[in-house]
Amino acid sequence: MRSKLPKVLQSLAGRPLLAHVLDTAKALKPEQIVVVYGYGGKQVREYFADRELNWVEQAQQLGTGHAVQQAIPSVDANHTVVIMSGDVPLVRLETVRNLASAAGDQNLALLTVDAEDAAGYGRIVRGGAGEVLAIVEEPDATVDQRKIKEINTGLLACPARLLGPWLDALKAKNVQGEYYLTDIVSSAVAAGVGVNAVSVKSETEVMGINDKLQLAQAERACQARIADELMLSGVTLADPQRIDVRGQLKCDSDVFIDANVWFEGTVKLGRGVIVGPNCVIRDTTVAASTTIHANSLLDSASVGKNCSVGPYARLRPGTEMAEQSRVGNFVEVKKSTIGKGSKINHLSYIGDTDIGADVNVGAGTITCNYDGVNKQRTVIGDNAFIGSGVELVAPVEIGAGATIGAGSTISKDAPANKLTIERAQQATAPSWQRPTKKKD
């Protein structure tokens, strides 16, 4: 990967490759999940420290068979083992279930695919009746065997009581000098154990990731799969090829998402939500019938029903908008609550503020919430009217129904239902003339 970050921690759709594999494994509801680790193991273990996993180190990388040899002592002999790869993240849960079912408690099951270009992969060698006889790795394959298109994906399932002895019998007698897991196929055939091949139609589902080019290809494939799932659930996408979901996106019915929208973390969109183009929405909940206009950024916010956000708005962490409230163009809100029906329509900064219901905040209003050391709060009561170009110097409270005259700097509490104005006296200098440049 040409990276200091271990391969299985490289990001796919906002999560490490290994996270995708572990989530699929967990969905099988197994007795245990054993992770065999090698390079970068400390980083990998630290990242997944909150998961219930059994970790086994492969101190020397001596092949796939050697890797499974490290894990098998911790597995109950009466269980069926499903072997997955940490760099094959797109395999579907249904596929893995079929693989486990094909193994049962008596058979060896392999996951295979017909590849357009099989170069570099182990070939599935079959007999005259179509039975699987062996898997031959490319360096050890004959000219005729290299013409075979059906390849091994690396995923298999097998009863542990059979797998253990076969692993013990592995030999590193091959071009690579490694212990191949695939050699257990020959052992199964020799023992008269059924070898069932479960084939997948799409190479993309079982693609392994070994460089940044393949990682990018997997990202597009993953995003296409997410887009398909969204549309099948009733979401309208303006352009399915221009949406990125880097986390979890849950949508109710009749949601519309325009082009070039990014979702990160956990995002929930209620019924009838409209998201305009070029928006970034992260760890945010948006309630029904709300519109997020173009080029807006929402981060760790909560937006109520029938709201309007943007265009070019920024909701920072801790923003809570009640139903029917509005945040307009070039407005930034941070760690603030905006009451029902309140409006901040133009060119304003609201930080550490509690705004009541039906408040109008005029263009160019800012809350001066930071004194250089601490953040202070501003409180604005219901039905207050804040004129344009106002500075509210926190801590300060604006009473319910109060009106603040345009251009005021308010540093003391303003009483309810009164007009409060703070302005320097306007003066005109009659004899003043605009300076002019001197002629050469």
Q: What is the DSSP letter of 257?
A: E
pLDDT in tens, 60-117: 999 999 999 999 999 999 999 999 999 999 999 999 999 999 999 999 999 999 999 9
Sign of CA dihedral 17, 23, 29, 34: positive
Average pLDDT over residues 390-408: 98
Q: What percent of the chain has pLDDT over 90?
A: 96
Q: Residue 153 — pLDDT band, cuts 50, 70, 90?
A: very high
Average pLDDT over residues 238-250: 98
Q: Say if residue 181's pLDDT is above 90.
A: yes
For 7-206, CATH gives 3.90.550.10
Q: Say if residue 166's pLDDT is above 90.
A: yes
Sign of CA dihedral 125, 131, 133, 137: positive
Instruction: Report cis status (omega within 30 of 0) of the bond before 159.
Output: no
Question: What average pLDDT does the chain have?
Answer: 96
Q: What is the DSSP letter of 375?
A: B
The closest of 99, 112, 331, 106 to 201, measured between CA atoms, is 112
| The two structure tokens encoding residue 139 | 């360096």
Question: One of 20, 66, 79, 346 is an active-site residue; which one?
Answer: 346
Residue ranges matching CATH 2.160.10.10 in the chain: 233-320, 335-424
Q: Residue 175 — pLDDT band, cuts 50, 70, 90?
A: confident
The closest of 365, 351, 364, 404 to 381, measured between CA atoms, is 404
Q: Residue 173 — pLDDT band, cuts 50, 70, 90?
A: confident
Tell me how many degrees the CA angle 294-241-280 measures, rounded to the nearest 5.
30
Q: Say if residue 440's pLDDT is above 80.
A: no
Average pLDDT over residues 197-214: 96
**115 close to 203: Cβ distance less than 8 angstroms:** yes
Cβ-in-10-Å burial (0-12, 13-18, 19+) of 190 comes to exposed
**Predicted local distance difference test score (pLDDT) of residue 366:** 98
Catalogue the E-assigned strands of 221-364: 236-237, 243-251, 256-257, 261-269, 274-275, 280-282, 285-286, 291-292, 297-299, 302-303, 308-309, 314-315, 320-321, 326-329, 332-334, 337-338, 343-346, 349-351, 353-355, 360-361
| The two structure tokens encoding residue 319 | 């923003």
> Whole-prediction pTM value?
0.92
**191 close to 169: Cβ distance less than 8 angstroms:** no
Q: Say if residue 438's pLDDT is above 80.
A: yes
- Looking at the domain 233-320, which fold is it? UDP N-Acetylglucosamine Acyltransferase; domain 1 (2.160.10)
**Predicted local distance difference test score (pLDDT) of residue 6:** 96
Three-class DSSP category at 323: coil
Q: Residue 287 — pLDDT band, cuts 50, 70, 90?
A: very high
Average pLDDT over residues 29-44: 95
From residue 111, how far is each of 95, 134, 195 by CA, in Å?
A: 9, 13, 11
pLDDT in tens, 362-394: 999 999 999 999 999 999 999 999 999 999 999
Is residue 66 part of the annotated active site? The answer reads no
**Predicted local distance difference test score (pLDDT) of residue 211:** 97
Average pLDDT over residues 208-231: 97
Superfamily of chain region 335-424: Hexapeptide repeat proteins (2.160.10.10)
**Predicted local distance difference test score (pLDDT) of residue 292:** 99
